[in-house]
Amino acid sequence: MFPSVFTTAPVLVMIYVLCPVSAFYVNDCMPDGQYNSDNVLHVSDARIGSTYVVAPGNLRVTVDFEILQNVDSELELSVVVKKKVWFFWATGHRSTHSLCDVLDTAFLQENGTTTCPTQLSNAGIPCRCPFTRGRYTLPWTSFEVIKPDDVPYGNYWAEARLTDPYTGELKACHSMGFYLSSY
C-alpha cells in the first residue's frame, strides 16, 4: 500500500525546505550548447573548498577558464541573481553594465588607483580590459567573503551574460548555483 498524498506531501515539503542544496556548480548556458569562434569565455572547471559559501568567512576556490579571443572592445555584462523562496526563484538583483567599468569599479582603491587582487595577479589572471586570449588557472586560493546585512542566507542561482553592445550578440553565458550559509 502506498502512502497517501496527504502524508507524503508534507514530508517532501519539509525535506525540500529544511535541507538546503549542498552543491556548488558553474554551467555554460549558451543557447543550444552554442560553442563557436565568436564566444569570448569558457569556464572548464570551477570548485569551492567546502559544501557551502560561508559568510562572513574565507572561501577557497579554484577555477580553470579560457579567454577564447582578445577582448579589445566593450562588452556588456548582464547579471541576474535569484534566491530560492520555498518552491520559487525570486529575482533579487538584475543589472547590465559595461564589463570594463564594472571591473574598474570593483578594484578601485581608496587612493583612486585600480589594482588586481593579489590572488589574481600572482596567478597571471587579468582583471581589467583589454583581455588577452589564453588559458588561465587560479590554483586553490582563499578570498574573504563579507555578507551585506540585507542579503539573506539561503540557496542562490546567478547568471552572467556577456554581449556585444552594438549587435546584441551573446558572447558568453555562465550560470552558477550556491548555498550561502552562516556556518
Would you say residue 175 lies in a domain? yes
Q: Helix/strand/coil (H, E, C) string of 44-65?
A: EEEEECCCCEECCEEEEEEEEE
Would you say residue 13 lies in a domain? no
What's residue 157's pLDDT? 95
Nearest to 122 by CA among 143, 108, 102, 101: 143
Q: Into how many domains does the chain fold?
A: 1
Instruction: Write the burial class of residue 131 (CB in 10 Å: 0-12 exposed, 13-18 middle, 19+ buried).
Output: buried
Range of the domain at 116: 19-181
Whichever domain contains 130, its CATH number is 2.70.220.10
- What band does 80 get if pLDDT is binned at 50, 70 and 90? very high
Give per-residue pLDDT as tens, 125-165. Answer: 988 888 899 999 999 999 888 888 888 999 999 999 999 99
17 has pLDDT over 70: no
Comparing 13-17, 54-58, 83-87, 178-182, the range with the smallest average pLDDT is: 13-17
For the whole prediction, is pTM greater than 0.75? yes
Would you say residue 66 lies in a domain? yes
